[in-house]
Structure 1
Amino acid sequence: MLQKVVTHEEIIKRAHALGKLAESKLTEADANGGYDKEFRDALHETGIHRILRPKRYGGLGLSHRTMLEAVRTVSQYSVAGGWLTLFMPAHECWVAMLPPKGREEIFGSDEFVADILYPIGKVEYVEGGVRLSGRWQWGSGIEMCGWIGLGAMVDLPGELFGIEGGPQACLCTIKVSEGHIIRDWKAFGLNGSGSHSIEVKDVFVPWHRVCPLAAIKKNAVPIGGEFDPEEAVYHTPFGPAFAIGFATIALGGAQRLQRELRERLRNRQRIVLGMKEWESPVAQRNLGEVTTMVETAEALYERALQQIESWTSQGRTSASEEEQARVAAWRCNVGRIAAQVGFRTMELLGGAAAYRGDLVEVFARDLFMMSIHFGQAYDDHMMFYGRSQYGLSAHPLV
């Protein structure tokens, strides 16, 4: 049976519907530490997680821009909803780098995939793979997923993988049901992401489900061959293409807040001024400030995305440290601006926007949490960018 062709326009239409559902459940998800099964099923139904999946495994054959535009769309309704919408296709990108048997097993199930990168797991080497144990925090969307890649330092048998062996950071992929989810996610913001912990005890991970992160970051070529190099996921540098999603979410959230500020100023009566607030030159000036902040973020984001698209058009599977650090610096600036927009909007709208569960209040907290994620840490990435300009090594995860 021929697979139905899904267009960019259709994906964005689905993203709007998903976003509206996410917004309707915004307060509930924030209070409960995650979105419910209805949102999970709706997200799966959109097929957004299959946008970058190789077509031989049921992928849609669409671009990074389509995936990111879908994420930005959902983020305008819910930052946490956008976070989950990003991670489901983004995590499939490293699954696409596994040995063929691993790709077939995970993609064949068509279940969502989570990951926790920190290489803190303990491994025991056994015939055919490793046995994994440990406890990891910050497993975004873990309750929605069938699989999860967990970070550990693994002494990789290079001859088996066809790459340089030795100890290196890897993702060891298990079924979520093989671990124990600990519902401990109650943070300042992004509570709707459901980023709970997982504990794993002596779970077997075959070699075909071990992903060597350093190797694919250096060169986005899958282990074991059997791939179409024309697929977008295989001719774009892995790290920058993965991490730009954080800026996408931040931008979508900031764009919504700018619109929210404009409309609330229009409808707000200021008794002390004896006029509608939008009629005040001070309010007009404040709206101009926030709008310019958002437009600055839009310009930086578009420049970063165009750089990634340029690499894709060139078929590049890697980028230099300075190139990666530059795009990371732009990305983190977008996140910082978005966080500033969040609290500035709340400040300008006053106490009415500060009630727990108000859209502005939830967005402000969520955008701040995004800005302090390790992949978005502003000061660190400015340092990495500066170091790279002197020929020094930047951070390995930029």
Structure 2
Amino acid sequence: MSEMTHEEMVARARHIGEQADLEIAEAELKGGFSLKLREVVHTAQIHKLLRPKRYGGFGMGARTFSEVVRVVAQRNASAAWLVYFTALHEQWVAYLDPKGRQEIYDSDGFTADIFFPIGKVDYVEGGVKLSGQWNWGSGVKWDDWIGLGAFVEVPGMAGGPQPCLVTANTREIEIVGEWNPFGLRGTGSHTVRADQVFVPWHRVLPLAHIKATGRPIGGDWDDTTPIYRIPFMPMFCVGFGALAVGVTQRVVAEVKQRVRDRQRVLYGVKEWESPIAQRNVAEMLVKADTIEALQERYVQQLEAWDAANTPVVSEAERNRPNAWRSLMCKEASALAFRGIEMLGGAATTRGDVLEIAARDLLMLSIHVGQLYDDNMLAYGRAEYGLGGHPLL
């Protein structure tokens, strides 16, 4: 495979955003973007962004990954969420047993996951049989594979059962088409069910082991690949902040323009001429700058770990990016609703860019990985030598 440049990958992301823009109304109504857009994403080979080169991927790093998500998010958060997850979920595939990596990468399909370890397994010859029901399977109708969370006692690993991703083919599970949320409607994050689905050991990923060691199962890996050189979860979650940045940039641009265009009939002035409006716009711009700067700091930290080949860090170091990310998402959500407040009822029409952005950013801020109180608590605990976030 030829080398992929940062500029070319970002250009492909921009094209995906433009195509997604044509489907936003339909995606909001139907609860998911079309298979047509899925093919646009697949043709752009976004899913190969993080994949190691030895498996036909581009082996790119955090900056390109973050920028791809941000560019699509300027068009729509749900589309960016899907693009993010399409590339992201190939990260953990790279930590599977070599046979599992080869099987999934050779299929060239997309991969989903639901981390919550709520599934049940029965141990059988060669693997496990998986059963259960999981919510929030983002983009699952686009995917060929899905890693589903369950506690599993993995052969050869001490310590008893641990949280694992048990990876099934989506043909073997049931997708429950009930996705009808407040925001992020276009992600198609449906509930899924499994009933005694056989999964061989080479498709079972022991997450606690990966978190502790930073090394893939079974060895046989290239340590020049960025995803192997950076702590697993901080890299896994970098796109959430990028998504917050992209949507925030769109929100601020929209609000600034609408303030300029708005006529305040009762006061006989243009809105932008009001000192109050001028002050409010300035505050929004500065808050957007703050969110951007914190995401840049996040990416710089990942790049520093990559340069130093540091896949395992202290609890405090690992939890600090979680706190940054939760603050970004919380502030982005508040900023979007502040924009609507400034513009009044005209910005609340169903399907308006600002109305969609506000709902989407609220959903982003309350995602389990971004919960502000949880992440601040975990970071504070870690600063005093206690355990941090149990999952992240």
TM norm structure 1: 0.97
Report if aligned partners of 1:121, 1:133 keep a CA contact under 8 Å in 2. yes
CA shift, 1:286, in A, is 1.0
CA shift, 1:57, in A, is 0.8
Equivalent residue, structure 2, for 1:16: 14
Partner amino acid for 2:88?
Answer: A
- Distance, in Å, in 1 between the alignment partners of 2:96 and 2:187 is 26
CA shift, 1:87, in A, is 0.6
- Distance, in Å, in 1 between the alignment partners of 2:219 and 2:297 is 32
Report if aligned partners of 2:315, 2:388 keep a CA contact under 8 Å in 1. yes
SS in 2 for 1:301: helix
Is residue 353 of structure 2 the alignment partner of residue 359 of structure 1?
yes
Equivalent residue, structure 1, for 2:70: 72
CA shift, 1:200, in A, is 0.8
Equivalent residue, structure 1, for 2:263: 269
Equivalent residue, structure 2, for 1:384: 378
Partner amino acid for 1:121?
Answer: G
Is residue 232 of structure 2 the alignment partner of residue 238 of structure 1?
yes
CA shift, 1:206, in A, is 0.2
SS in 1 for 2:112: strand
Equivalent residue, structure 1, for 2:27: 29
SS in 1 for 2:161: strand
Identify which of 146, 149, 160 aligns with 1:148: 146
Partner amino acid for 2:225?
Answer: E
Equivalent residue, structure 2, for 1:183: 177
Equivalent residue, structure 2, for 1:107: 105
Partner amino acid for 2:139?
Answer: G
Report if aligned partners of 2:62, 2:238 keep a CA contact under 8 Å in 1. no
Identify which of 39, 57, 60 aligns with 2:58: 60
The alignment of Structure 1 onto Structure 2 pairs a total of residues equal to 392
CA shift, 1:88, in A, is 1.0
Report if aligned partners of 1:156, 1:165 keep a CA contact under 8 Å in 2. no
Is residue 293 of structure 2 the alignment partner of residue 299 of structure 1?
yes
Identify which of 216, 219, 225 aligns with 1:225: 219
CA shift, 1:45, in A, is 1.4
Report if aligned partners of 1:132, 1:202 keep a CA contact under 8 Å in 2. yes
Partner amino acid for 2:305?
Answer: W
SS in 2 for 1:273: coil
Report if aligned partners of 2:51, 2:94 keep a CA contact under 8 Å in 1. yes
Report if aligned partners of 1:92, 1:113 keep a CA contact under 8 Å in 2. yes
Identify which of 132, 135, 143 aligns with 1:137: 135
CA shift, 1:390, in A, is 1.3
Equivalent residue, structure 2, for 1:198: 192
Report if aligned partners of 1:342, 1:363 keep a CA contact under 8 Å in 2. yes
Report if aligned partners of 1:48, 1:67 keep a CA contact under 8 Å in 2. no
Partner amino acid for 1:13?
Answer: A
Deviation readout 1:228-281 (Å, 9 max, x if unpaired): 111111111101011121111111111110111111112222212322211221
CA shift, 1:165, in A, is 5.5
- Structure 1 window deviating more from structure 2 (266-275 vs 206-215): it is 266-275
Equivalent residue, structure 1, for 2:390: 396
SS in 2 for 1:156: coil
Report if aligned partners of 1:257, 1:360 keep a CA contact under 8 Å in 2. yes
CA shift, 1:82, in A, is 0.8
- Distance, in Å, in 2 between the alignment partners of 1:5 and 1:327 is 30
- Distance, in Å, in 1 between the alignment partners of 2:227 and 2:317 is 18
Report if aligned partners of 1:219, 1:237 keep a CA contact under 8 Å in 2. no
Equivalent residue, structure 2, for 1:346: 340
- Distance, in Å, in 1 between the alignment partners of 2:99 and 2:386 is 38
Deviation readout 1:323-377 (Å, 9 max, x if unpaired): 1111111111100111011101111111111011111000100000000011000
Report if aligned partners of 1:265, 1:277 keep a CA contact under 8 Å in 2. yes
| Alignment RMSD | 1.1
- Distance, in Å, in 2 between the alignment partners of 1:54 and 1:109 is 15
- Distance, in Å, in 1 between the alignment partners of 2:126 and 2:59 is 33
Is residue 277 of structure 2 the alignment partner of residue 283 of structure 1?
yes
- Distance, in Å, in 2 between the alignment partners of 1:323 and 1:85 is 27
- Distance, in Å, in 2 between the alignment partners of 1:383 and 1:201 is 37
Equivalent residue, structure 2, for 1:89: 87
- Distance, in Å, in 2 between the alignment partners of 1:16 and 1:283 is 32
- Distance, in Å, in 1 between the alignment partners of 2:213 and 2:268 is 63
Partner amino acid for 1:206?
Answer: P
Equivalent residue, structure 2, for 1:330: 324
Deviation readout 1:2-39 (Å, 9 max, x if unpaired): x2322110111111111111122112111111111111
SS in 2 for 1:218: helix
Partner amino acid for 2:326?
Answer: C
Report if aligned partners of 1:135, 1:198 keep a CA contact under 8 Å in 2. yes
Equivalent residue, structure 2, for 1:214: 208
